[in-house]
Amino acid sequence: MTSLLKVDNVTKRFGGFTALTDVNLDIAKGERLGLIGPNGSGKTTLINCISGVLPIEAGAIAFDGADISKLATYRRAKAGLARTFQIPKPFHSMTVIENLMVPLEYIVHRLVDAKNQNAAHSEASDLLRRVRLADRMSAPAGQLSQVELRKLELARAVAARPKLLICDEAMAGLATKEVHEILDILMDLNSSGITIVMVEHILQAVMRFSQRIVCLTAGRIICDGAPADVMANPEVRRAYLGS
């Protein structure tokens, strides 16, 4: 197994409060990993430390063989680390495809000339097909439904051509059929070579998606293994499921 992300003994404090204690996590290239845990267990803090939004107090984080512990967020993104946000914030008055073309032009293509606009348009169209949103390409983003907004958020993250995609509750508040739709899209993205970490409260979705599940409780990893084993673990059931 080739490691893509290695979280090595990471500790994170907020003043006197320790939100993460000695967290160790090794994610292989191509893996589909589920990250679960009750509210306040440290999931968001962990992904903020990985993406560089928060500095860590102790330990190290390596990505694709390089130490990224002290790299700025944008440099981690450039190295291939992407994430989605729980509440997507597109430019509402711009169309769906324009929302994607802004980062594609400026980040990927840099120069905004006619040739690059065409390239950005074609790449954005491809992305929208991958997230099954091509039929809404010309709609203002402000008119999108919840599930369509989540798809646009996924396309935005994938536009950066990530090696690792961390999905922060990409399915919260969606109907069952829509959850399955997002799961199918994530499976496709994973088949195309993107390693995916799913942080999610909807356990059926995590179970269906993940090859491995990690459970955080009070800032510590209490279980790391095959989905069925993690769900059967008494400590997980007590901490997470309340039984």
Identify which range of 22-30, 41-49, 101-109, 139-147 contacts ligand ADP by CB under 6 A: 41-49
Q: Which two tokens stand for residue 183?
A: 């799961």
Q: How far is the CB of 54 from ligand ADP (least distance, A)?
A: 8
What is the pattern of x (binds ligand ADP, CB under 6 A) and - over residues 210-239?
Answer: ------------------------------
Q: How far is the CB of 14 from ligand ADP (least distance, A)?
A: 3
Taking the least distance from each CB to ligand ADP, the nearer of 45 and 190 is 45
Q: Which of 9, 24, 40, 74 binds ligand ADP (CB under 6 A)?
A: 40
By three-state DSSP, how is residue 231 classified?
helix
Closest CA to 107 of 159, 40, 39: 159
Q: How far is the CB of 24 from ligand ADP (least distance, A)?
A: 17
Q: What phi and psi values does residue 13 have, to the nearest 5 degrees?
A: -120, 145
Q: Which of 43, 150, 151, 156 binds ligand ADP (CB under 6 A)?
A: 43
Closest CA to 82 of 189, 174, 178: 189
Q: Are 78 and 164 in contact (CB under 8 A)?
A: no
How many CB atoms are closer than 10 A to CB 68? Answer: 20
Q: Which of 4, 32, 34, 37 binds ligand ADP (CB under 6 A)?
A: 37
Q: Is 19 in the site for ligand ADP (CB under 6 A)?
A: yes
Buried b (16+ CB within 10 A) or exposed e, 103-139: bbbeeebeeeeeebeebbbebbeebbebbbbbebbee
Q: Which of 10, 41, 76, 179 binds ligand ADP (CB under 6 A)?
A: 41
Q: Which of 39, 93, 138, 243 binds ligand ADP (CB under 6 A)?
A: 39
Where does residue 98 fall: left (phi above 0), alpha (psi -120 to 50 degrees), or beta otherwise?
A: alpha
By three-state DSSP, how is residue 165 classified?
strand
Q: Which of 21, 44, 86, 146 binds ligand ADP (CB under 6 A)?
A: 44
Q: Which of 7, 45, 136, 205 binds ligand ADP (CB under 6 A)?
A: 45
| Contact set with ligand ADP (CB under 6 A) | 14, 17, 19, 37, 39-45
